[in-house]
Each structure stands twice: as structure tokens, then as C-alpha cells.
Structure 1
Amino acid sequence: MTAPHPAPPTFPMFVSVEEARTLLRQLLPERRTETVALASAFGRTLAADLMARVSHPSATESALDGIACREADTLAASPEQPTRLRLIGESRAGLAFAGTVGAGEAVRIYTGAPLPQGANAICPVEQLQDDSDRADGDGVLLLRPASPGDVRREGGDFEAGETVLHAGALLTPARVALAAALGHAEVPTLKPLRVAVMSTGDEVIEPGQPLSAGQVYNSNAYGLLGMLREAGCEAVLLPAAPDSPEALEQALTSIGGADILLTSGGVSMGKYDFVRDLLIQEGKVSFWKVRMRPGGPAMLGGWKGLPVFGLPGNPVSSLVVFQVIVRPALTGQPLSTLRLRAGTPFRGLADKTAFWRAEVRGSQVFDYGKQGSGVLRSLSDAGALVIMPEGGAAEVGDEVDVVLMD
């Protein structure tokens, strides 16, 4: 008697990288809004547009230390024939000069100080010589013409009422500083997703413990922990789960309160890939396997209402899948890439998107060489991924899309 064929899977297999991102986004819970103090805003995602409450600069001011004067009075100035102006006061941040600069006059000015009325140009201190020993009072010699280009115009950066930061922006240090300059002490943000991280496998042990033959330190979990925190998530590190259905089910049951679980290992084709079996037999599967290298065995599903993204166990595969699929879905930001010239050829794969580890040197990118999924130091040394679409290839000099891992 001929054995019956196994039933075909009822879930998508070999999805594209873009499909994997979309399916993951659909499983994530709706984000709640939370207003936080500016000091706690770093790494959060902005939930609403931010408008400037003031103009910046708040007054027309000097970009450097020197003198403020009328440009027309200084056009003939040179080292050979300096132009002399009479000093009538000074302007500094917090104490502006109250008078008006007239013909042949100047005011000492410091970076960020308001430009006096009547002045329209600055001459830097490096191009000045003191001339105060003359009988007619304080004076200064200009060795070159004063420049209007060294004047910062009021509102030149942004004006009051202008929308400067937009909803969805990740609050980097530069954007937090900008929010402060806009006049906001608090900002509306999306409450961070709480993401649990768990490695699986009998061979996985914690760093610092004695390592026996066939065992491996739990590097994946700590790499993912850092990447999650960098993405603005609240990351929770769980103990590694051994290779048994009972232990894995117990670990999943104990999580409590997570928005999503990231597992590392247990989703490939092996006999002891219990994450795969648990999702297929007792949970639900949104997809299994992605058309990418490295990282093809990735799996997305759910178990008792908890979204579960199963990352491959190989360390490079795990971190690359997180960078190109999971991170964009968690942050709501598109995958950030730049265009560089190939310094070496990059091969393509007929049926997969390839993410080749590479080194950036200036405006070029070079194949790192060691592309094995277990070569973890390659991500640290190379620091970049060249994206090669299905069926594509690049020769030296071709432009390629590059993802920076740092």
C-alpha cells in the first residue's frame, strides 16, 4: 500500500522580505500614546507633529566673536590698508547693545549675541587689530571686509508656528535636542513595545559558564537585547529554553505582559525544532521561511494570543533578520539604506534576496568575504549589508543599496 502524502501546509511559505514585514506589522498590538518628559524621550517614537513655539534664532544674531558694523564701511579693508572703525559698545548673549550703529562705528559682539540696530555684517576677531591708543578713543582695525554671511537671521532655522518634527519620527539625540529648541518640555510618544527575548536549545548556555564540546554561549539573546533597546523597545531577557516541548511551553506560559516574543533557534527543519512544532500544532502560523539569505528559516505566528517571531539559531541569520524585517516593523520606520558604489562584485541568488556582509570604505563598499551564517565576528568587522535583489548581481562600479548595521 502506498503511504499517504502529508497534507500541504495551510500557511504561507517562502514569503518575500517585504511580505514578512507586512505580516509582522499586522500582528503587533495597536500602540498607545504616552506623554513623557523630554529627559525620558530618547529612543521613543513621536506620536504627533511638533510645532515650534518660538523662532530660532529668536533674534538676528552673530555666528561668531568679532565686531558688528555696516558692511559698506568696510569694503576697502585689507591687511595692507586696514579700515578703522570706532567702538561704541558691546553686545553679548543676554545683554544686547541698546544703541544704533552709525557710519564708521562698530560694536564688539560675541557668538549668539543680538545684532545691534544699524549693523548688518560681522568681522571675526581673527581679522581685527586693536587701535585704542589713539587720542580720539577706542578703535579697531579691520584686515578684511565684514560679512553679512556671519549673521544668523531671526527664524533662519525655524519660525514660530512651523511644524518641524513629524509623527512617526524616532527621537534620536539630535531630535530630542530639536524638540527642546522648539520649546517643548514634554512630548507625545508611542508607548514602547514590550518585547521578550528567548533563546532555545540544549546547547545554549550563559556566558561565563564552562563550555563543553558542542555547546555555545547565548550570544543571540544579548545581540537582540541591544538591538531592541536601540530601536526604542522595552526588552525583557528570558532564560534559554531547552529542547523539549514541555520546557518551551512552560517558558512561553510564564512570559506575561509581553507584546511580542522573539525566539532564537528552533524554527528550521530539524527533529528538535520545537518552536516550529509548537506554533504549527498548537498555535497559528502567519508564515514559515523567507526568501532571503542569511535567515531563510524565520517563522511568524502566535501562541495563546501572543505574537511569536521565530528567528533562526545561527547568530548572523538571527541578527540580520532582526535588522531587515523585525526592526522596521517594530519602529514603523522603513529600512534605512544608502547608495554606494561596489568596490568588488556581489553575486545574486535566483530565488532569494541576499544580504551580503560588506565593508564601507569612503563611497565604496567591498565584499567582506566570510559569509557563513555562524561567522558572528563578520557583523562586527564588516558593519554593513549589501542588498542584492532576487536574480540581481552587481559588478565593480555599479550602485548598490547598503544597510548599515551600526
Structure 2
Amino acid sequence: MHRQHIDLDEAIQILKDTLPLPETEILPLEQAAGRVLAVPLLARVDHPSVDDSAMDGIACKLSDSQRTPVTLKLVGESRAGEGFSGVVNTGECIRIYTGAPVPEGADAICKVEDLQIEGDQVTLLHPARSQDIRHRGSDFRAGQEGLQKGDVLSPARLALCASMGHRTVEVFKKLRVGILSTGDEIIEAGEPLAPGQVYDSNKYGIYAQLLDLGLEPVLLPHAADHPEKVKENLKEAGLDVLLTSGGVSMGNYDIVRDLLFGEGEVRFWKVNLRPGGPALCGLWEGLPVLGLPGNPVSALVVFEVLFKPAVFALLERTDPPHRKVRARASNPFKAVPKKTAYWRAKLVFEDGELQVQDGNAPLSNMLRGLAHANALVVVQPGEAIEAGELAEVLWL
């Protein structure tokens, strides 16, 4: 028995439980940017591996350098990759460079700007400091967890992987997600447009959303309003998930709805959401299917607020699916009875605070309004937001 007219949080959970957990693969670091870690990553080494210098200057004994000016004898140098092999004794110092090992006997650094050097005589104009030594393991120790399962490998995290001694990482494989547009009225952009026809904008918007999500989009041939056409397009697709556009509402030609109800399994149909209420989730021959509405804004918004959070939960991503902020409403945002509304809007910073303005495109086929929006205002059922009130906003 499928669920009907459910709240968004329940729909996200059902969809997450319907999606297949992706397999993992091991990739070299240069191929792992933007991927999601499948296991925690432990450091294999200490970092730094020795006590080293945070700056160019000299290394000496702290006790020799507190009353300045003071002159010390220069007895050698330490540079990154080749340290000083001797011992620094009282009255002595060595030249040292950023990242170079601090030798035995030295416990302070005086930066080069505070030095006068003549031959092997070095005069310190200001005291040396022990805090300019970076101690072994001060960043991380061998065996310490540096990254969590679910972390997305950003540039800084890739660099951390290498610093911890990892040349490869285990990440989740990208889900292959098919995009299927339905409807006799849909034609490819650029073709001659007959009366009543419309260009297929949804598949390109969804394609870009899937790329942003780090998944592998697969564009399927357009399906006319006949279930057999849909099934033909899926035979050789090799998909993990199918996203359909259109065909999920109450009409006589809503073929995705008819296919899942007639030959598949429906998990939920209709979500207490606007735009995008007719969203449908189910299985067809074991393939998870999320049916998105055909109206362009509805399709893209349902992807954003339903599919994206479900994928984040599936991968146990450690970052949130959306950046949520509070902003002052510049104009009213209406409520919808029994449904959570996500209205297109624009965030701006004015008069010293974050403000949100109406996107001025109320209908779900008005794509231009969404194209110029950078936010969605969340309006709870029956609780309109008046001008001047603080609103919950998803910053896109």
C-alpha cells in the first residue's frame, strides 16, 4: 500500500530507503576531486614529522636570546629536506628556513627580519620565540582520523589525504541516473515549434543538477505518451535510478503513473509540497523511479528539496544539502493550506542585513523566474510571511 499526500520529510526518508546504496571504488587522488569518502581516513604519519620552523631566521636556545641585543655564533644551517646534524650549544645558533627541522639543543626561533648577520656573528635585535617552532604531530598524529565517511573531497581535503600518506582513497561510485522526458508535446530545443508543442527544458536542468550533485546523468531518448515507449528506453540503460519528467499527475496520459501502478510498485504519490505536489516514487522491475512533475519549475524544485536531500542521506554526507539562512522579507510570501511552499526569491544584502525579495514568477511553468532566483523561501502550511518578518530561506 503506497503512501499518499505525505509530508516532505517522510518523502525524503522513503526515497532514501528506495535508492540503492552505491558500490565503492578506489581512485588515485587526481581522480577523486568532488567524490564522497566511503570510509573514514586515518593518518599514516605524524605531521609535521619532526619539530620544524614556522619561518626563516635562526634557531637557538631560548635562554640565550631573552636579553637583546645579543650576539651568537653561527655554526651551520638547516633547510627543508636536509637538517643540521650537530647540536646547538650555549652561545650558538644556526640558519634555519621555513619547514626545516629544528636541531637538538635549539628551542626557539628568531625571524630573519630581527637579525643582523656579519660572517659567523649573528646579532638578535628582538628575543627569539619558542612558539615559532611547529612541534611534531601538532597537525595530526599517525592513526588519528583526519576525514570522516561522507566527507566530500574538496581541494583542501585532497591535500590532507596526501599529507596523511594516502595516494588512493575509497569513495562511493557515482550513481547512474537516467533522465526520461515524457509527453507527445515535448520536442528537442532548436527544432521547428508547432502550436501546442514545447521545448524539452527539464532534461537539461535536471542534467546540470545531477552533475552538481556528483552523480552520473544519462540522457534517455524522449518517450511519447505510451508505456511501451518508456519500457523500450529502459531496456539497455543500465541505470541505478530513473528520474522522469512529466506523466505523474491525474491526466489520462500520465504514463509514468500508469506504468508504476500497473506493473511496478508505488512507494508514495503526491507530497504536501508546492510547487511539485504530484511527485511519485516507486520501483519498476527493481529500478528506483522518482517521477518529477512536468512543469519546469516544479521539476527543478522537487529535485532540489526532495531528491538532493535523499542522496545526501544515502551517502551519509557530512555537509548539509542546503545552506539555510534567516532573511528579512521585503514583501509578503503567501501560505498554502496543508502544504509547505517553496517560493522562488532573490537574496540581497541591503541596509546592513540579509533581505529576501519575491521572485515575481508565481506559476510553475514560469522558468525565467527560477533562472534569476538564488533562493527558495520556505513557507509553512497556513503560515504566511508578512513584509518585514524573518523568513527561512534555502540559499541556492
TM > 0.5 between the two? yes
Match of 1:131 in 2: 117
Residues 105-134 of structure 1: CA deviation (Å, up to 9, x unaligned): 443333322223333343444x335432xx
Find the partner of 1:306 among 268, 283, 287.
Answer: 287
Secondary structure at the aligned position of 1:139 is classed as: strand
The 3 A distance-change label for structure 1 pair 368 and 105 is farther
Match of 1:242 in 2: 224
Are 2:328 and 2:391, in contact at CA under 8 Å, matched by a contact in 1? no
Find the partner of 1:329 among 286, 305, 310.
Answer: 310
Are 2:326 and 2:393, in contact at CA under 8 Å, matched by a contact in 1? no
* Aligned-CA RMSD value: 3.1
Find the partner of 1:385 among 370, 376, 389.
Answer: 376
After alignment, is 33-42 or 231-240 more displaced? 33-42
The 3 A distance-change label for structure 1 pair 154 and 395 is farther
After alignment, is 211-220 or 49-58 more displaced? 211-220
Q: Which amino acid aligns with 1:171?
A: L
- Looking at structure 2, the residues matched to 110 and 101 of structure 1 have their Cα atoms a distance apart, in angstroms, of 16
Match of 1:158 in 2: 140
TM-score (norm 2): 0.83
Find the partner of 1:356 among 340, 343, 351.
Answer: 343
Secondary structure at the aligned position of 2:267 is classed as: strand
Asked whether 1:273 is paired with 2:254, we answer yes
Are 1:204 and 1:218, in contact at CA under 8 Å, matched by a contact in 2? yes
Q: Which amino acid aligns with 1:162?
A: Q
Q: Which amino acid aligns with 1:131?
A: I
The 3 A distance-change label for structure 1 pair 69 and 338 is farther
Find the partner of 2:77 among 69, 76, 90.
Answer: 90
Match of 1:196 in 2: 178
Match of 2:106 in 1: 119
Residues 334-385 of structure 1: CA deviation (Å, up to 9, x unaligned): 6434453313266454422233334445673523433533444544543333
Secondary structure at the aligned position of 1:36 is classed as: strand
Alignment of 1:140-159 (within 5 A): 140-142=123-125, 144-159=126-141
Alignment of 1:330-345 (within 5 A): 330-331=311-312, 332=314, 333=316, 335-344=320-329
Are 2:75 and 2:120, in contact at CA under 8 Å, matched by a contact in 1? no
Match of 2:40 in 1: 49
User: Any unmatched runs of 5+ in structure 2?
Assistant: none
Residues 58-86 of structure 1: CA deviation (Å, up to 9, x unaligned): 22222333333444555566xxxx66554
Residues 255-302 of structure 1: CA deviation (Å, up to 9, x unaligned): 432111101122233443222222223322211111122222211112
- Looking at structure 2, the residues matched to 74 and 349 of structure 1 have their Cα atoms a distance apart, in angstroms, of 73
Match of 1:6 in 2: none
- Looking at structure 1, the residues matched to 372 and 58 of structure 2 have their Cα atoms a distance apart, in angstroms, of 50
The 3 A distance-change label for structure 1 pair 401 and 161 is farther
Alignment of 1:204-283 (within 5 A): 204-212=186-194, 214-252=196-234, 254-283=235-264
Residues 86-106 of structure 1: CA deviation (Å, up to 9, x unaligned): 443332211112233344544
Match of 1:4 in 2: none
Asked whether 1:168 is paired with 2:168, we answer no
Match of 1:38 in 2: 29
The 3 A distance-change label for structure 1 pair 205 and 103 is farther
Secondary structure at the aligned position of 1:328 is classed as: helix
Asked whether 1:183 is paired with 2:176, we answer no
User: Any unmatched runs of 5+ in structure 1?
Assistant: 1-9
Residues 117-168 of structure 1: CA deviation (Å, up to 9, x unaligned): 333343444x335432xxx6342554x4444443322212211011222223
* Number of residue-to-residue matches in the alignment: 386
- Looking at structure 2, the residues matched to 276 and 181 of structure 1 have their Cα atoms a distance apart, in angstroms, of 51
Secondary structure at the aligned position of 1:382 is classed as: coil
- Looking at structure 2, the residues matched to 187 and 18 of structure 1 have their Cα atoms a distance apart, in angstroms, of 32
Are 2:359 and 2:370, in contact at CA under 8 Å, matched by a contact in 1? no
